[in-house]
Structure 1
């Protein structure tokens, strides 16, 4: 702080000179910059030079010291005015304290008294200027933090922490146009996240800042729209445009944000509210709707009204559907298994934990089918990482896609194993029949019993693998053996029949002619 500027006002030259000579003003950190013999000249001087301290006499021509002090303090309340007065004038001068006089000096003027007053004034000015500087600093801080404080107010409003009077008072201070627009308030909450799990926190913050800038640019300073960021770094849109379609706007925003940024976007929208105090309900509904991204997937606009209409109920396992799923997987029917999966998940889940419970039921059905078909050695079926990826899925569409892939793999693995197993069984049956052709007791039932399968199952497998029924296949290989014996031996017809397991000669002759188109004798004679 530089030297304090002092002005002396008195119509007597000797008094002015006495004041100048009584103390060392320089030592006091002060400088007398002027003197005046009357109040009029002094007022002009004050306007031009703005002194810090004025010493003034009470009785002066035209305008007395009290009137002069009143005018000065009205225009410049920070100037310190000291009244110089005699004992007989003191009572009159004392009245000036009401107008803000800093102090008094009694005549005759003593150096000690003058030093006391100047020391006091200097302290007062230093303290006041320090306070002023601190106040200016606080004001500057306020200017810098104004946007933050404004958003803090808006967030408290949306959280329902303010009364109607507080909302209007703070809105006026922060110049928030809550009164503009004639429509009801409607809230949209935008959640932005990165498509990359490797993105740093700083990159995520910058991404969200860029998305907010795009949202603000989208609305282009529309007075009926307020945009802020809440404590969860979600972008909040408060709309009060009667003709606006917030759902359509948010769908356009979703398309724009995901196209220009490497991000995923989910937007929840609450219902409309007229009452300024009930806007907090719209914000709660928008946040709740946003939570339903787990059921509809990302890059979607979710309306709370749709959730209410959909309703909520607690998930319950459906044993019938799960048994169907297990059966379809067991027989390798991936298409029907996918349909059963769709039926299992065609319920209105109320939480992420519920659709994860449903996923556990599906995984259990898959593993039971795998164990039943003896493919426990398949890595993927019991792979820890695969199961974790299913049970930690955050979005229902993603979970269903993953489960479909899982079911398809298990079904194919079972189908492949069954096909291999069935192929091996038929090969063994064919070998068994070749080795036991002479046994007339060999038939479908006895062969099925030999291989511990049902007659129906073996019959279906034979038809599938050979294109013939079991009886057709057995008869065919018996007739081929008979042809070979006719060509290579001189055995009689009934003897050949016994060799191929048909002990009735007449029946053997009929079968042979039916299969070859010739009788036994014709075949042997024409060989």
Structure 2
């Protein structure tokens, strides 16, 4: 299990993140928190975490200084920063330092889990590479395993080296299927394929190199054997050797689905719903653009887009390559903003028209700017809409002791996040807002001359004495004094 620490000078943020993130479910153990940069550095040096989540602004040692120190001492550490809307210059510096992702405040459960998922994917890839390096030995079998690992990691780039190591039979291979499980297993020998068994930090893999189509009866028999063994095994689709990296990702994804669903047996990737595999091999420049987009800053997006254009154009690629790279970023950007994607036009058509008219760079900048503006505006609307909906729910239910959990469920937010967002937006806590509305309802009932015990019951206080204490604390008078003063006037 990977280790993580969280650093932020706001205690409520530390508490919220500790509660609202399912760390164990992500395969992460939260081993500590810190409220300032110096204590954070001491904690990180002591527990040696794999992941550091830190605010940019902290006393003693700010987040950028902390990241720079940590990465100089432990380069394999993966850092995620979060910051306010007006700190984009700091974010750019953080990106230059090599942070894994950026999360905008106020922090949402979805944003944190998305950033952690990205980091975990990177850690798994690096772990696989380290595992591969540990396996290197001067034997034919070890060299073959190395070649197969490189084929899984890099696909077409490693195909020729794999064929040379695989031997003459490599020319007969028509497809690759990968099986992944947490426990060791072996595939039986068969003339239709050759199986190479590998191991990384988390999975036992069987890589099947098909010489011919495997008879369906044999597939069924193989799946039955895996089911009988009680193993949770993910099975990829069959891809040509140059796309073997897709087979590996699909097998791991299918295995994760099997674990998530509690299935003991074989799960084929093709049986999963659409969108189960969403790989991303973006360069540092492309990732910087996506981070800027999530920040919602037009200026930052424009600067990162210009930097991308300068560097890609300086390499003097052919026009088709430029269009392909730009289109890949635009589609990744639309996916990053999710439901707020730009609904206007079709990028693959627009980019061809822009290229024909000689305004490719201008189109690229404008498209990213529109996406950033729409994403930022939608996030603000969604945030304020949720709080207004929560306030209205409280007002409508002031006659009873409505809870934070109930209100959070009604508006579709995590209770801890609603608590933080409510205080930030309204200036008072959820309980303060609820109590104030119950007192206002009580005052209106008292002005009608109702008995104090009846009013207490009508506003959700089962104990009239407790109601009287709350009422006096908010108004300076007992309920009886307030009623009498209103009736006499």
TM-score interval, normalised by the smaller of the two chains = 0.3 to 0.5
**TM-score, normalization by structure 1:** 0.33
**TM-score, normalization by structure 2:** 0.36
Q: Which has the higher contact order (CA 8 A, sep 6+)?
A: 2
